[in-house]
Amino acid sequence: MMSATMDFRLPIVSVVVLEDIKVFYLLREMDARLDTAETGEKALSMAAEICLGSMVEILLSEGVWEIHSSLVSDAVEQGKNRIAEMLQKHRLEF
């Protein structure tokens, strides 16, 4: 399980953890990438871990599509049913 600590080398992940939607979209306009394990997958994992449903939705809508089954099962085990449902639904679409 990941620790929800800030990694300032990855600004896009940091703004997800801070749930700063305005800065998130500003970074995306500046071509911040979400298509790598270090950015998109990490941001999604962190958002799911700390139960930031709005950020999970945004990340999925912005193209983060790599969802490992362990992420879904961790959400279920931790009682984060809404997060688990979002992840599972998105996972089935791809």
Question: Over the stretch 12-69, which tens digit does the pLDDT of each residue have?
Answer: 999 999 999 999 999 999 999 999 888 999 999 999 999 999 999 999 999 897 788 8
Give the predicted TM-score (pTM) of the model.
0.85
Residue 6's H or E segment, with its range, is none
Return the pLDDT at 1. 40
Would residue 51 be called left, alpha or beta, if left means φ above 0 and alpha means ψ between -120 and 50 degrees? left
What's the maximum distance between 2 C-alpha atoms anywhere in the chain?
Answer: 37
- For residues 73-78, average pLDDT: 94
Q: What is the reported pLDDT for 26?
A: 97
